[in-house]
Structure 1
């Protein structure tokens, strides 16, 4: 009987101990879970803060670049490099130069606009560099006719001279008082434009 009473007391103590141990383990587990969650939330907050800082820094950089390059961008757009190609402006400029310089007749052909590749990489951002090739033939009294023509033409737009060949003109002696070419020039120019649109222009020919 005494043994049974002692066992009952011991069993109660064991049960209390087990219950206390279970509660303790539950509390430790809950504390560990809350600690991990707190660490996770802290890491997420740090990532969000760093992301916000990066976005702010990027926005400030873009703002500074816009402030720095906007005048150049406006100037390039004014000169016709940025935006849609200005074929009609080129044609009108050729006609006016020919009249003002009193040049001999010339002919040209402007091909369809195509992507233009440079020898070196040029960062153009969201814009594509396009080129419209123009084959130009000029009858010249002297070399300055060609040089003056190209110099005046650069005021209308941006182009790169791909090649230019000048030859002596062959033909019969001109009549008295009639101007005759002493040279012929055949040049290939590439009119350049930077534009987000890639709609090509149509081939254009014109004798003047």
Structure 2
């Protein structure tokens, strides 16, 4: 069937409407596909957020259990002076106290400025910072047991953490015999490290003063 010019004129409007409908349908299909992609991406994002929140919740529960389990030991380290600010006055008072308790000869001591300490036996401190303050002291002794008594007393159960690094002992009495007047026979020059563990800033902000 051959269409005449008048027939084409009659079909112009229907064809234009049909073309418009086709365009609208194509646009709707494109938008529908894009909407589907956006919704799938939004759903995936929400699922990731939910999984992350679930992991944080589980992690917080585990951290709470760890804190509950080890808090008494951690608090004990704080009370001993191992965790937190250094306690030089307490160190000196303990040295004087133990020196007096054991009735030792005169002692001289000095403490150097605190410095960061990275020993080979503590490679991973979990964000904590280990520092030391070197104490030098000189002590006259009747025998070697005086030095052992002093150092063992300083590192007792409730004492701050320390490491005896070096001691040089020289003999004062060449004869080596004990004197009735309790004259010093030996002289010790020693260095020990008073250790302090500083908390990370995150723990300090949570615990507070």
| Alignment TM-score, normalising by the size of structure 2 | 0.83
1:163-199 CA-to-partner distances (Å, cap 9, x unmatched) read 122222257999x7422222221111000111349xx
Quote the residue 1:180 is aligned against. 183
2:166 pairs with one of 126, 150, 163: 163
Q: CA deviation at 1:15?
A: 2.1
Structure 1 residue 192 corresponds to structure 2 residue 195: yes
- Decide whether aligned partners of structure 1 residues 16 and 173 sit closer, same or farther in structure 2, where only a CA change above 3 A counts: closer
Q: Tell me by how many angstroms 1:81 deviates.
A: 0.6
> Runs of at least 4 residues of structure 1 off by over 3 A?
9-13, 120-127, 170-174
Q: In the comparison of the two structures, how many residue pairs are matched?
A: 195
Structure 2 residues not aligned, in runs of 5+: 201-209
TM-score (norm 1): 0.83
- Counterpart mapping for 1:55-204 below 5 A: 55-155=56-156, 156-170=159-173, 177-196=180-199
Q: CA deviation at 1:103?
A: 0.7
Cα pair 2:176 2:185 within 8 Å, conserved: no
| Other-structure match for 1:50 | 51
- Cα distance in structure 1, aligned partners of 2:4 and 2:10: 10
Contact 2:83 2:199 in 1 (8 A): no
User: What corresponds to 2:204 in structure 1?
Assistant: none
Distance 2:30 2:8 in 1: 32
Query: Partner residue of 1:14?
Result: 15
Q: CA RMSD in A?
A: 2.4
RCO greater where, 1 or 2, for CA within 8 Å and sep 6 or more? 1
Cα distance in 2 between the residues matched to 1:129 and 1:25: 69
